[in-house]
Each structure stands twice: as C-alpha cells, then as structure tokens.
Amino acid sequence: MKILVLGSGAREHAIITALAREEPRHEIVAAPGNAGIAEDAAVVHLDPNNAGVVATYALEENVDLVVIGPEAPLVAGVADALRTRGIPVFGPGKRAAALEGSKAFAKRIMQAAGVPTGSATRAASQAEVSEALDTYGAPYVVKADGLAAGKGVIVTGDRNAAVAHADFYLQQGTVLVEEYLAGQEVSLFFLSDGNTVLPLSPAQDYKLLLDEDRGPNTGGMGAYSPLPWLPDGFVQEVLSTIAEPTVRQLANEQTPFVGLLYCGLILTERGVRVIEFNARFGDPETQVVLPRLTTPLSGLLLAAATGSLAGHDWPEFSDDVAVTVVLASEGYPEAPLTGRVITGLDSASAVEGVTIAHAATATTAAHSGAVIATGGRVLSVVARGAHFAEARERAYAAMGKIFLEGGQYRTDIAARVVS
C-alpha cells in the first residue's frame, strides 16, 4: 500500500514505525515529518492542515490510505476533503472531530448517549464562572472550550487561580467549570469505522511536567502500557458503556466517527468516568501501545477507513510491556528554547529493547547534518521489556546517553507499577 501519514510528532513516528515493520513492505510518505521520520519514510513538505493541497497530493500520487495524526488537520476538515474525493482516510471529518475540538459538543454527545462523565457547567461570563465554582467547590476544574494544546485546563485548590484562568479563556469564548473527579487516569483507544468499534491496549499518560505530578500541564511527559492494576473486564466495559454508545450517537446525528476515538478516563470510586475525548491517537501513549500491537496496523486502519471493521477480531498485543519517557526542551511548556544540538541518539537506540520516536527534531546544514531540537517535546525514548522494572531500566539507560542542553524529563514514569 501507499500510505500518507500527516503530522510530525513522536506519535506519527510511532505509527510509521509500526507500518514500516509489516511485510510486504508499504510505501510510506510523511508530511511534513521530522528528522527521525525521514530515516523511516519519504517526507514531503506540504502543509498537513491545507485540505486542498493534501487531497490533490493524495490523488496525484495514487495514495491508498491517508492516516491523520494530529487534531489540527481533522478540525480543519482535511478528512472531509479526502473522503469527498474517494480517498480512504483514517480520521474523522470536521464535525465529528468536534468531539475533541469542542468540549461543550463532547458533553452534549455524552449526555445524549448516556455515557458516564462528570457534571459540567458552561460559563460565558465571570459571574457565571464564579457561581459554578461555588456550586462544585474545591478542587476547581476550569477548561477552555476549544483546542488549547493541553494548556486549556486548570485543576487547582486555589479559587483565585481558577478565576484568573477562566478570565483568560473567557476573552476567547466560553469556558467549562467541572466537577472534580478523583482516581487513576486511563487512556483507552478505539478504532472506529463509523459503526463497529475495536479496542486497543490501555495506557497511562503522565500529563504534568515534573516528578510526583508537580508543575504545569503538558501534552504528556511519558506513558506505560498495559495497566496491570485495571479490574477484569475493564476494556469490555468501556467498549460497551462509552465507546459504542458514543459512536452510535454520532452516527445517528449523521456525523459518523471514522478514525481513532481516544477515551480519556478516570477510575473513580463510583466507577469509570470520561474526562475527555480526543479524535486521534494520543501522544505519548501511542508510543507504548503500537510497539506491542501484533495485528498488522495497516489492515486495521484501512478497514476503519473503508467501513469494514465488522467481523474483525479485537487487535492483539504481545505479552511484554512498554515504557516511554519524553525529552523536552528547556522552557517547555511555556517557552521552549529551540535550535540546540542533540547528541547520543545512536548509543541510546543501541540499548536493548529501545527505539527513539522523534518529535521536534530536524537536521541542519548549519550544524553539518547534526540533529537539533525545534520545539517543546523533542523525542520519546521507548523501551520494551519482560516487565516494568526492565523496561524502565532500559528507558532511563537510553535517556542517560542522550544530551540536549537544558533538556528535561521525568524520572518517575511507570515507577508506580514496579513492585
């Protein structure tokens, strides 16, 4: 197959790595990719958010399948443009992608589908925010009602901080004030063809910048999979009480969801609750889910894209475990310093069980072909092992060989599952 993957993060590198290990080989093209992706796929420099440009390229180059990695092209309607032209695409259209792009839309769908989630109040003014904060009490949860790259949410015991956060996002639109949910978080991905839904293996993401869950919210600083502490039947329960009703509701509203339904869940004392939906693979969770997938990924993505998941078995996974640790630039998430050289990548990937998924990396002539950091989350070190102690040891051994001035990473990823 000729497969075009849109995006340039470690998630897209992990998707490409999974596609590239299949036999017979695929022809894989990434747009725009990064320095690591360029070693595993052809890269083309087209704007992944420009629907017309992507559709024209896919038609002219006879692409068999387009896989959309990030949320921006989905919200920009790139999947719609491809689908209209008859090109198989893994990723929902603009209207279904609002499940991620609009928290208010997601809450409405959940309500209509009877999906368990926390209570939330939409507020358009400071007075409404203030009233809702007092209704729910501390800890306070305030969210921007649009895409905010992981920065739109505050969870705080400090009422003034919650008010200030709400004031900032009220300048751009409405905000949601939510009931605080306490418990372990789970990211569970589902492949959907618009009707049939199949689960992947659960993962846990570490969203805060610093060890022991301190510091600001980020896009995700590490992850591990599977989750040995989940109750039996958890995946089946989420499939039948959350993923299937959501996909059915969207289908009933003529906004079929074709692509990856990312369920961000909290396991509360009163049962599982949805905190958010995303309309695409999670980053960094994908880096620990896909390496363990033993069912060929291309077949699953194409079946989802062409409405033929019915009758497929659940995707299968190997028995080992995976841990990923994200390396971020100095200043991330507020103001990452970029342009610095990264060294030690070859010795890091030589560590047994380790691969490097590149994110914000590029090679530059100015540094005679060296790899430099071009953004906040620079790369993910991914390690597999027979158990979590082994995978962690490998991940941190590899991270120890990489040098990036001012680079930051958490040292406690998956520590809680090492007994």
DSSP class of 363? E
Which of 153, 177, 221, 274 is the binder for ligand AMP (CB under 6 A)?
153
Which span (179-187, 193-201, 227-235, 240-248) binds ligand AMP, by CB under 6 A?
179-187
Task: Please tell me whether residue 70 binds ligand GLY under the rule CB under 6 A.
Answer: no
User: Taking a C-beta distance cutoff of 8 angstroms, is the pair 325, 396 a contact?
Assistant: yes
CA nearest to 273, candidates 282, 265, 285: 265
The residue among 101 and 220 lying less far from ligand GLY, judged by its C-beta, is: 220
Which span (117-125, 167-175, 247-255, 275-283) binds ligand GLY, by CB under 6 A?
275-283
Total H helices, total E strands in the chain:
14, 24
Q: How far is the CB of 187 from ligand GLY (least distance, A)?
A: 7
Place of tokens 């390396």: 327
Taking CA atoms, 102 is separated from 25, 146, 152, 198, in Å, by: 38, 5, 12, 24
Which of 33, 73, 88, 282 is the binder for ligand GLY (CB under 6 A)?
282
The residue among 15 and 181 lying less far from ligand AMP, judged by its C-beta, is: 181
220 binds, among ligand GLY, ligand AMP, none (CB under 5 to 8 A by kind): ligand GLY
Which of 283, 303, 388, 417 is the binder for ligand GLY (CB under 6 A)?
283
**CA–CA dist 129, 208 (Å, integer):** 25
Task: Please tell me whether residue 250 binds ligand AMP under the rule CB under 6 A.
Answer: no
Residue 383: strand pairing partners: 323, 354
Q: 384 by DSSP, 3-state: which?
A: strand
Q: How far is the CB of 410 from ligand GLY (least distance, A)?
A: 14
Q: Lay out the sheet containing 271-278: strands in order across.
A: 197-199, 184-193, 258-268, 271-278
User: Taking a C-beta distance cutoff of 8 angstroms, is the pair 38, 369 a contact?
Assistant: no
Task: Please tell me whether residue 94 binds ligand AMP under the rule CB under 6 A.
Answer: no
Q: What string of DSSP letters covers 51-70?
A: HHHHHHHHHHTT-SEEEE-S
283 binds, among ligand GLY, ligand AMP, none (CB under 5 to 8 A by kind): ligand GLY
Which of 7, 92, 199, 220 is the binder for ligand GLY (CB under 6 A)?
220
Q: How far is the CB of 151 from ligand AMP (least distance, A)?
A: 9
What residues make contact with ligand GLY under the rule CB under 6 A?
A: 205, 220, 278, 282-283, 285
What residues make contact with ligand AMP under the rule CB under 6 A?
A: 118, 141, 143, 153, 155, 178-181, 185, 207, 217, 264, 275-276
